A = this chain, B = another copy of it.
Amino acid sequence: MTNNLRVAVVGAGRMGADHIDRLHTRIVGATVSAVVDIDAERASAAAARVPAAQTFATAAEAYASGTVDAVLLATPGFLHEEALFEALERDIPIFCEKPLTPDAESAWRVIEAEQALGHQRIQVGFMRRFDADYAQLGSIISGGTLGDLLMLHCRHRNPSTPDGFTNEMLINDSVVHEFDAVRYLTGEEITSVQVRLGKASRRARNGQHDPQQVLMETASGVLVDVEIFVNAQFGYEVSTQASLEEGIVDIGADHGPVTRTAGRVGGAVTPGFEDRFGAAYDHEIQSWVDAALRGEIGGPTAWDGYATAACCEAGVRAQSTGEKVTVTLKEKPELYR
């Protein structure tokens, strides 16, 4: 391997196309050498801007071409397990968009396979860890000058959802980021999950109960509450307030020009996650490329993928039962300590 990582992007949908664009125009040290999608037309469209990229129907064909040093998985989650095994067998750096796999059991099989390999190869796409606000909040908490962390109040709000965004996706696709962020900020595992369903917005889509409140506890007893509100209309917001023994810290405020006109003072609300986390996505992939060139992992590991899969399972069960659901993890393997 030279100092240029030749990456196969598997899955040429919205997220895959976005990563191809990122690797091609903003990430130094990597080249998109292969675009893999069962839909040939979609693969060609996504590869069009990248002269060096070939298209393939399967990852196996891409690997066989001899042009692939590393793989980025951007297919739907239910396809991840098989693709991960295939890549682990080749022992190449893997960037796996979240979730690692859709449930804790399959995630654990991935953990076992990576352990069998004897070294870490999988980085999971929890990009908040690369956001400056989260990183600074994490430093403040772990720095200890404000005492122990006691509570986290989280907001996760989208302006609206596409058709077909179900109650389960609300946990598995949205709250999953909060699960990882809570684990990252506290440095602890989550021990229980509970979901409160109150008054629903008339803006909620068919079958959704929106907003919901997700309550968690961590190993040391930190209480967490999340407002997940995916049809909040006003804009996009991901913010967190931390209550510590000696002070309160807020992250996630809005930016840009402040205008006063016609009796109102204010600024623009972040319109979507691309605006809020665009730089974080770039940092995440750059970190993965840099680490991969050194044979290392540059972010969340397969263990993080497994632990959040267990939280999602508990969350979905809590959502339907209204009860507090305990989260029990297997013992953390040596490889991830």
A233 contacts chain B at the CB level, 8 A cutoff = yes
Bound-state CA distance A217–B24 (Å) is 45
Flag if B261 contacts A146 (CB, 8 Å): yes
With A148-B201, A263-B234, A263-B269 known as contacts, the answer to whether A257 contacts B140 (CB < 8 A) is yes
Bound-state CA distance A255–B251 (Å) is 9
Return chain B residues, CB-CB under 8 Å to A266. 264-267
How many monomers of this protein are in the complex?
Answer: 4
A256 contacts chain B at the CB level, 8 A cutoff = yes
With A151-B198, A213-B223, A222-B199 known as contacts, the answer to whether A263 contacts B235 (CB < 8 A) is yes
| Among A81-89, A114-122, A130-138, A326-334, the stretch in contact with B | A130-138
A28 contacts chain B at the CB level, 8 A cutoff = yes
Flag if B150 contacts A201 (CB, 8 Å): yes
User: What band does the interface of chain A fall in when counting residues whose beta carbon is under 8 Å from B?
Assistant: 35 or more
Question: What is the chain B residue whose CB lies nearest that of A196?
Answer: B223
Mark interface residues in A251-263 (1 if CB within 8 Å of B CB, else 0): 1011111111111
How many whole Å from A3's CB to the nearest CB in chain B?
8
Bound-state CA distance A235–B3 (Å) is 39
Flag if A222 contacts B249 (CB, 8 Å): no
With A198-B222, A199-B220, A266-B264 known as contacts, the answer to whether A259 contacts B247 (CB < 8 A) is yes
| Among A62-70, A169-177, A224-232, the stretch in contact with B | A224-232
Return chain B residues, CB-CB under 8 Å to A25. 28
Which residues from 149 to 166 on chain A have a C-beta closer than 8 Å to any C-beta of chain B?
149-151, 153, 157
Return chain B residues, CB-CB under 8 Å to A151. 198-199, 211, 213, 227, 229
Flag if B132 contacts A248 (CB, 8 Å): no
Mark interface residues in A180-203 (1 if CB within 8 Å of B CB, else 0): 000000000000000010111111
Flag if B247 contacts A262 (CB, 8 Å): yes
A105 contacts chain B at the CB level, 8 A cutoff = no
A76 contacts chain B at the CB level, 8 A cutoff = no
Question: What is the chain B residue whose CB lies nearest that of A28?
Answer: B25
Question: What is the chain B residue whose CB lies nearest that of A201?
Answer: B245
Return chain B residues, CB-CB under 8 Å to A144. none
A271 contacts chain B at the CB level, 8 A cutoff = yes
Flag if A198 contacts B150 (CB, 8 Å): yes
